[in-house]
Structure 1
Amino acid sequence: MQDTAELSTSKLGTKKYWDELYALELENFRQNPQDTGDCWFSDSDAEQKMIDFMVDNIGAHRITEDASVVDLGTGNGHLLFELHETEFQGKLVGIDYSEESVRLATSIAEATGVEEFVSFEQADIFSADWSPGKFDIVLDKGTLDAISLSGMKINGELDVVEVYAGVVEKILEKDGIFLITSCNFTQDELVQIIETDKLKMWKTINYPVFQFGGVQGATICSIAFVKQS
């Protein structure tokens, strides 16, 4: 398990920051429907790489054209909108704890006529009362990165990073896939955080690597885990 005590807190981990950001993006969208907000990790083309990965692996485990997909920390919903444009035509749900995020994403869905296929819900994924059902695919594009900076404790004692894998297990079907992209954690650290008796590393997405001081690395990593039982 990653020693999360060493992680610094940041405004990027606060609900206030995201509420204010998405409220601004919603106002921008209302003034200009072409402005749907920023896309995280666009400089690494991570979103398209995640979509290409799922398309390339259709037929493996529970990855099918009609697979149910949930995006944790969906933001403006861009990942789901792009996914809907591919072969994936199953239930697509975006979850975010920011009400402004949900308002923005829902407004975009309605404006583009895809609200029948892509829906959004406000929820605290760490609440014991949260019960959205199970999904074939769970996505995370930078959400663990953000919440790891919150300093929030679950039940007053457990770091959110320590319980995150349990949240994924709760909503993932057997043989389902969890695909996560991170810039805060290395591949080894993500495996330490996510792998459990049920969740096992399956495949990774390749990104350009750099070398510094004789050590090779990448600025971003994406890993797919499969729920084995």
Structure 2
Amino acid sequence: MSLVLEDDNVERSQSGKVVQMQDKAELSTSKLGTKKYWDELYALELENFRRNPQDTGDCWFSDSDAEQKMIDFLVDNIGAYRISEDASVVDLGTGNGHMLFELHQTEFQGKLVGIDYSEESVKLATNIAEATGVDNFISFEQADIFSGDWNPEKYDIVLDKGTLDAISLSGMKINGKLDVVDVYAAVVEKFLKKDGIFLITSCNFTQDELIKIIETDNLKMWKTIKYPVFQFGGVQGATICSIAFVKRN
């Protein structure tokens, strides 16, 4: 996966490779925001997994250890709001389901669900769950979370690791006029119970930008996860941010 870093105007791949991009005031479209791209990627990863069950695909943001930091954050905050050992958790844009498999190895033993709009993603994650014997605890489903006529189940915890980053590059419009970024917070709210937690990680948006995108009257910033900062041209910043929001009502 390759995502935009607004601060230094580059595109950085999961492996850390950097590619120069044109200056822009807003996010451009990219094949990384298309369903076709992810279907083809996960179809290939599923083929690789069938050939070698040890190959379960990539873990996004592995270079920053973001996934483990998100899991550690949830474990450290058990007892706050709706975070508990039996909390229900949904991972939006779950991909290969890696974060849910890792979360299941901790204190969290509640309902774990991964949702993705790629059928191939769901096939891959389901195959991994069955092969590792956790399919009774973790389930996956294909769905378009932006479908207006879909009323999802509500959860205690909603996770996003790079999903907003990817869909922000899609160029997709809701009702022909609204960017998916503009409606994302409302979509997240539909998944959350009162006092539920939304934990999101992004390398496409700064912390301030992410707060501006996600905060609503009901969804408020709660805590952040710390990452190493860099300094470039006298300006300090981080290439990644993780923020927890709580749904008040």
TM-score range, shorter chain: over 0.9
Number of the residue aligned with 2:3:
none
Q: Match of 1:199, as an amino acid?
A: L
Instruction: Give the Cα separation in 2 of the matches to 1:52 and 1:223.
Output: 13
Number of the residue aligned with 1:51:
71
CA apart distance, 1:214: 1.1
Number of the residue aligned with 1:117:
137
Q: Match of 1:94, as an amino acid?
A: G
TM-score by structure 1 length? 0.97
Instruction: Give the Cα separation in 2 of the matches to 1:92 and 1:131.
Output: 18
Identity of aligned residues (%): 88
Q: Match of 2:96, as an amino acid?
A: N
Number of the residue aligned with 1:40:
60
Number of the residue aligned with 2:21:
none
Aligned pairs for 1:66-85 within 5 A: 66-85=86-105
Instruction: Give the Cα separation in 2 of the matches to 1:124 and 1:72.
Output: 10
Instruction: Give the Cα separation in 1 of the matches to 2:208 and 2:248.
Output: 20
Q: Match of 1:35, as an amino acid?
A: D
SS at match of 1:177: strand
CA apart distance, 1:128: 1.5
Instruction: Give the Cα separation in 2 of the matches to 1:129 and 1:97.
Output: 15
Coordinate RMSD, CA, aligned:
1.0
CA apart distance, 1:129: 2.2
Q: Match of 2:217, as an amino acid?
A: D
Instruction: Give the counterpart of 1:98 among 118, 124, 139.
Output: 118
Runs in 1 of length 4+ with deviation above 4 angstroms?
none
Number of the residue aligned with 1:220:
240
In the alignment, is residue 144 of structure 1 matched against residue 168 of structure 2?
no
Give a deviation string over 1:191-216, Cα, whole Å, max 9, x none.
00000000000000000000111111
Number of the residue aligned with 2:19:
none
Q: Against the structure 1 CA distance between its residues 5 and 170, is the aligned structure 2 distance closer, same or farther, given a 3 Å change threshold?
A: farther
SS at match of 1:6: coil
In the alignment, is residue 185 of structure 1 matched against residue 185 of structure 2?
no
In the alignment, is residue 25 of structure 1 matched against residue 40 of structure 2?
no
Number of the residue aligned with 2:4:
none
TM-score by structure 2 length? 0.90
CA apart distance, 1:132: 2.3
Q: Which stretches in structure 2 are left out of the alignment for 5+ residues?
A: 1-23
Deviates more, 1:126-135 or 1:84-93: 126-135
SS at match of 1:131: coil
Number of the residue aligned with 2:13:
none
Instruction: Give the Cα separation in 1 of the matches to 2:137 and 2:152.
Output: 17
Q: Match of 1:50, as an amino acid?
A: M
Structure showing the higher helix proportion among its residues = 1
SS at match of 2:87: coil
